[in-house]
């Protein structure tokens, strides 16, 4: 096994991780501040991807499309918050799960109705096409590097937003004592809508970027949503820092598990069986990771308000 | 609701047409296929090819009900139960994916319904699990991979890297490839079914330094793989079965597919009258070039119609079965007959992806296997 191979796989894990972070950040903020479980977060990911491809197609520029996808997701998030989510804050989690699950079905059908059943495929923008040579031979797709850069930059931007701005101060205040900041005269309703739209925009950004690598289709958000939940449980629900650490852990574990488990079993079993057993086990590694972390730290790595 | 509406419309159309036709025995066909999600282009083409043949035959006494299985085995099973119990269909057809076929076919044929497969041909249903009411008009799953294994070997490649999804057809694919490729492989991977990101696999290919890549990733999986492969900076010759390089998805794969050799039992440039008529009629009807799947749907319908003409209908099951086995229809593939386990004996061609004007398409560059049946004929005791 060469060094270049290891570097490439680590980058793959990192890329997967930062993509998950963009999803998990919104999910964890919404839970941390509003105490809301939002299953429809995956739909916002999908909305971002669809609008990115559509606006990109119409305008002829991927970048305009990506911006449009982000805005569309933010707008959809704000509308959903005002129309539906706002009524759920005082309800218990089961009602929230039920209502946001209904939102998944509604948003999926509406998207199917507007954009059709067929998956859409986007091309990598020419600026980011091709591969960059890695030390020790081989190369790495520039587009995936760009995702890593955007993801990490967003994480830093979120850090600045939360620690340095007035909005961030309110978010932190909201996390530690919801009633108190209302009593202090902060307009809680607008704050909640803003946070929800922010989370939606991040999901939309992730959707737009991933759509280029994979395909854009109805239901693309739900597999990512499940992983994002694993991430926020690992990181500590409500903690953005936890979401970052958790998503990179999950990204690396999943990628490296998929690569190395079949190889590990190949030492003991014939190739065909080893690949079968290895790939089967690889699909559960992140859940094993989650279980192990919860045994060690029942409230996640960075528990909020502990 | 959309689905229900679609089958209702088709049903009504069938009934209306039936009023004008002769009072022959009605034939009710239930088509379960994938019309939404990542694998939908396959199901849509099978459906369109099938319905084109029914329309051309002017068979007013044939009713086709179509339902979308969304590539979910449980949903496919539910639709099959509904078709058999409520709609009382005589024949089921349409399933694209082998895991869905395994969920539906064995239980259905045991209830006396015929199943004509226009695509999925898992080894389990060709060998020990074969059944007198199950016919596959496309291929046994291993076929195209076997032909490619032989082709890769005879062209002097010594270290192919092979990958396929971890489900019945994926295992059949790699087994089939290795049945005719006798050398060593530089690597072998089973991926998750429906996987969309192949970064980890592409890195493994890079590290293994193979001299060729053979992959079986049908539907959206193959598109994602080829697009990501094109961005990886790797330049190793790619081989595969027709599924990832067929008409329906070449546009999505784009120029990354140019020059790729792929094996297929059908190609639009096979020179026979039935095929020419099919390609022209399909283009005229749907405004696009037919795919391999469309040809399979078309042949499946023509097989059923030919058997119906001969046996009158499924009323006399033994006669209908014998008529199916005779396969007395003009296949778009040319020569066509069934082996004793109800799977085709046919030629498998090697095609190359080329550009005709602005359109990506395939042209035949050689023959992989001639008069090829399958490896499971001996295991099948009917």
B234, B205 contact by CB (below 8 A): yes
The alpha carbon torsion through B294, B299, B301, B305 (nearest 10 deg) reads 160
Number of domains in chain A: 1
Report ipTM for this prediction. 0.83
CA A164 to chain centroid, in Å, comes to 24
- The predicted structure's pLDDT at residue B6: 54
B130, B340 contact by CB (below 8 A): no
Please determine, for residue B5, whether its predicted confidence score (pLDDT) is greater than 70.
no
- CB count, 10 Å around CB of A60? 9
- The predicted structure's pLDDT at residue B14: 47
**What is the per-residue pLDDT across B134-163, written as a single tens digit (0 to 9) for each?**
999 999 999 999 999 999 999 999 999 999
**What is the per-residue pLDDT across B268-304, written as a single tens digit (0 to 9) for each?**
999 999 999 999 999 999 999 999 999 999 999 999 9
**What is the per-residue pLDDT across A262-278, written as a single tens digit (0 to 9) for each?**
888 888 887 767 877 88
Domains delineated in chain B:
2-139+270-338 (3.40.50.2300), 143-264+348-379 (3.40.50.2300)
In a domain, A4, yes or no: no
Chain B contacts of A213, Cβ < 8 Å? 196-197, 224, 227-228
Q: Least CB-CB distance to B231: which of A9, A119, A131?
A: A131
Structure tokens at B138: 């496309």
- Residues across chain A: 306
A20, A247 contact by CB (below 8 A): yes
DSSP 8-state class, residue B368:
E
Q: What is the sign, positive or negative, of the torsion defined by CA atoms of B158, B159, B161, B164?
A: positive
Residue B25 distance to chain A (closest CA, Å): 36
Please determine, for residue B335, whether its predicted confidence score (pLDDT) is greater than 50.
yes
DSSP 8-state class, residue B262:
E
- The residue written with tokens 């078309």 in the block is B298
Q: Helix crossing, B292-311 with B317-326: angle to 10°? A: 130
Q: What are phi and psi of A6, to 5 degrees?
A: -65, -45
Q: State the DSSP string of B166-214.
A: SSHHHHHHHHHHHHH--S--SEEEEEPTT----HHHHHHHHHH--SEEE
A205, A22 contact by CB (below 8 A): yes
**What is the per-residue pLDDT across A215-226, written as a single tens digit (0 to 9) for each?**
898 889 998 999
Select the more confidently predicted residue: A189 or B53: B53
Please determine, for residue A254, whether its predicted confidence score (pLDDT) is greater than 60.
yes
By CB neighbour count within 10 A (0-12 exposed, 13-18 middle, 19+ buried), where does B208 fall?
A: middle
Chain A contacts of B166, Cβ < 8 Å? 276, 279-280
Please determine, for residue B348, whether its predicted confidence score (pLDDT) is greater than 90.
yes
Please give the span between the terminal C-alpha atoms of chain B, in angstroms, as a whole number: 41
Q: CA B328, CA B337: separation in Å to the nearest integer?
A: 8
CA A76 to chain centroid, in Å, comes to 17
B343, B330 contact by CB (below 8 A): no
The answer, for B196 touching chain A at a CB cutoff of 8 Å, is yes
Chain B contacts of A272, Cβ < 8 Å? 171, 174, 188
Residue A210 distance to chain B (closest CA, Å): 9
- The predicted structure's pLDDT at residue B1: 42
Structure tokens at A212: 């280029």
Q: CA A17, CA A245: separation in Å to the nearest integer?
A: 9
- The predicted structure's pLDDT at residue B18: 43
Which range (A39-53, A149-163, B25-39, B264-278) has the least confidence?
B25-39
In a domain, A305, yes or no: no
In a domain, A99, yes or no: yes
- The predicted structure's pLDDT at residue A1: 67
Per the structure, the complete domain to which residue A27 belongs is given by 9-119+140-296
Q: What is the b/e burial string over B19-41, where b = at least 16 CB atoms within 10 angstroms of the residue's CB?
A: eeeeeeeebbbbbbbbbbbbbbb
User: pLDDT class for A185, splitting at 50, 70, 90?
Assistant: confident
Q: CA A104, CA A94: separation in Å to the nearest integer?
A: 15
The answer, for B187 touching chain A at a CB cutoff of 8 Å, is no
The 3-state DSSP class for residue B25 equals coil
Q: What are phi and psi of A5, to 5 degrees?
A: -65, -45
- The predicted structure's pLDDT at residue B60: 83
In a domain, A179, yes or no: yes
- The predicted structure's pLDDT at residue B24: 53
- The predicted structure's pLDDT at residue B17: 46
In a domain, A130, yes or no: no
The mean pLDDT value for B335-362 works out to 93
Structure tokens at B147: 């032909």
Chain A contacts of B196, Cβ < 8 Å? 213-215
- The predicted structure's pLDDT at residue B117: 97
Please determine, for residue A306, whether its predicted confidence score (pLDDT) is greater than 60.
no
Q: CA B264, CA B296: separation in Å to the nearest integer?
A: 11
- A119 with B189: Cβ contact below 8 A: no
User: pLDDT class for B7, splitting at 50, 70, 90?
Assistant: low
- Residues across chain B: 382
Q: CA A116, CA B40: separation in Å to the nearest integer?
A: 11
Q: What is the 3-state secondary structure (H, E, C) of B53-110?
A: HHHHHCCCCEEEEEEECCCCHHHHHHHHHHHHHCCCCCEEECCCCHHHHHHHHHHHHH
Q: Least CB-CB distance to B203: which of A12, A129, A279?
A: A12
Q: What percent of chain B has pLDDT over 90?
A: 73
- CB count, 10 Å around CB of B72? 17
Q: State the DSSP string of A252-290.
A: HHHHHHHHHHHHHHHTTS-HHHHHHHHHHHHTTHHHHHH
In a domain, A65, yes or no: yes
Q: Least CB-CB distance to B233: which of A131, A259, A276?
A: A131
In a domain, A125, yes or no: no
Report how far apart, in Å, the C-alpha atoms of B32 and of each of B28, B190, B322 are. Answer: 13, 27, 24
- The predicted structure's pLDDT at residue B122: 93
Chain B contacts of A129, Cβ < 8 Å? 231
Look up the CATH number of the domain holding residue A215: 1.10.3470
Alpha helices in A165-187 (DSSP H): 166-176, 178-183
- B36 with A280: Cβ contact below 8 A: no
In a domain, A51, yes or no: yes
Which range (A95-99, A132-136, B85-89) has the least confidence?
A132-136
- The residue written with tokens 């099948």 in the block is B380
Q: What is the model's pTM?
A: 0.83
- Chains A and B form CB pairs within 8 A to the count of 104
Q: What is the b/e burial string over B311-338, where b = at least 16 CB atoms within 10 angstroms of the residue's CB?
A: bebbeebeebbebbbebebbbbbbebeb
């Amino acid at each position: 096994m060469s060094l270049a191979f290891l570097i490439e796989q680590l980058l793959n894990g990192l890329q997967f991780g930062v993509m998950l972070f963009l999803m998990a950040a919104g999910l964890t903020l919404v839970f941390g501040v509003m105490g809301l479980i939002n299953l429809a977060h995956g739909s916002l990911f999908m909305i971002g991807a669809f609008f990115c491809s559509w606006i990109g197609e119409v305008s002829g520029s991927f970048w305009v499309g990506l911006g449009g996808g982000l805005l569309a997701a933010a707008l959809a998030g704000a509308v959903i918050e005002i129309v539906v989510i706002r009524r759920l804050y005082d309800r218990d989690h089961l009602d929230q799960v039920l209502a946001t699950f209904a939102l998944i079905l509604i948003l999926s059908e509406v998207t199917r109705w507007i954009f059709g059943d067929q998956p859409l495929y986007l091309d990598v923008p020419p600026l980011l096409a091709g591969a960059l040579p890695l030390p020790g031979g081989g190369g790495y797709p520039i587009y995936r590097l760009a995702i890593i850069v955007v993801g990490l930059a967003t994480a830093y931007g979120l850090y600045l937003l939360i620690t340095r701005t007035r909005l961030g101060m309110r978010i932190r205040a909201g996390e530690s004592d919801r009633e108190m900041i209302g009593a202090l005269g902060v307009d809680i309703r607008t704050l909640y809508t803003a946070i929800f739209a922010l989370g939606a925009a991040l999901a939309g950004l992730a959707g737009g970027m991933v759509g280029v690598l994979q395909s854009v289709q109805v239901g693309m958000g739900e597999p990512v949503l499940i992983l994002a939940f694993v991430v926020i449980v690992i990181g500590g629900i409500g903690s953005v820092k936890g979401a970052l650490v958790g998503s990179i852990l999950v990204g690396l574990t999943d990628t490296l598990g998929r690569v190395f488990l079949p190889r590990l079993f190949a030492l003991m079993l014939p190739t065909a069986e080893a690949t079968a057993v290895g790939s089967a086990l690889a699909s559960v590694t992140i859940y094993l990771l989650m279980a192990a972390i919860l045994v060690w730290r029942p409230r996640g790595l960075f528990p909020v308000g502990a | 609701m959309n689905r229900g509406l679609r089958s209702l419309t088709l049903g009504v159309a069938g009934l209306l047409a039936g009023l004008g036709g002769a009072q022959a025995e009605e034939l009710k066909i239930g088509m379960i296929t994938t019309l939404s999600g990542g694998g939908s282009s396959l199901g849509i083409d099978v459906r369109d090819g099938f319905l084109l043949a029914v329309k051309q035959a002017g068979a007013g006494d044939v009713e086709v009900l179509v339902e979308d299985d969304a590539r979910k085995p449980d949903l496919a099973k539910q639709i099959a139960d509904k078709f058999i119990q409520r709609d009382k269909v005589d024949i089921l057809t349409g399933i694209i994916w082998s895991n869905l076929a395994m969920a539906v076919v064995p239980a259905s044929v045991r209830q006396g319904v015929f199943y004509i497969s226009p695509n999925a041909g898992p080894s389990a249903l060709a060998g020990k699990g074969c059944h007198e009411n199950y016919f596959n008009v496309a291929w046994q799953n291993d076929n195209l991979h076997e032909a490619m294994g032989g082709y890769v070997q005879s062209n002097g490649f010594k270290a192919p890297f092979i990958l396929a999804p971890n489900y019945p057809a994926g295992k059949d694919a790699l087994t089939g490839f290795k049945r005719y490729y006798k050398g060593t492989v530089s690597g072998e991977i089973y991926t998750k079914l429906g996987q969309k990101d192949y970064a980890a696999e592409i890195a493994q290919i890079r590290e293994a330094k193979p001299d060729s890549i053979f992959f079986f990733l049908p539907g959206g999986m193959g598109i994602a793989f080829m697009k990501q492969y094109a961005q990886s900076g790797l330049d190793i010759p790619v081989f595969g079965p027709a599924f990832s390089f067929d008409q329906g998805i070449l546009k999505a794969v784009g120029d990354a597919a140019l020059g790729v050799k792929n094996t297929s039992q059908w190609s639009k440039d096979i020179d026979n009258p039935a095929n020419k008529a099919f390609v022209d009629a399909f283009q005229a009807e749907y405004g696009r070039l037919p795919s391999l799947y469309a040809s399979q749907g078309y042949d499946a319908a023509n097989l059923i119609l030919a058997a119906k003409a001969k046996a009158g209908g499924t009323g006399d099951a033994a006669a209908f079965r014998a008529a199916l086995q005779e396969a007395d229809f003009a296949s778009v593939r040319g020569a066509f007959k069934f082996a004793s386990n109800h799977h085709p004996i046919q030629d498998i061609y090697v095609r190359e992806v080329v550009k005709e004007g602005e359109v990506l398409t395939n042209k035949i560059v050689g023959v992989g296997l001639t008069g090829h049946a399958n490896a499971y004929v001996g295991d099948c005791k009917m």
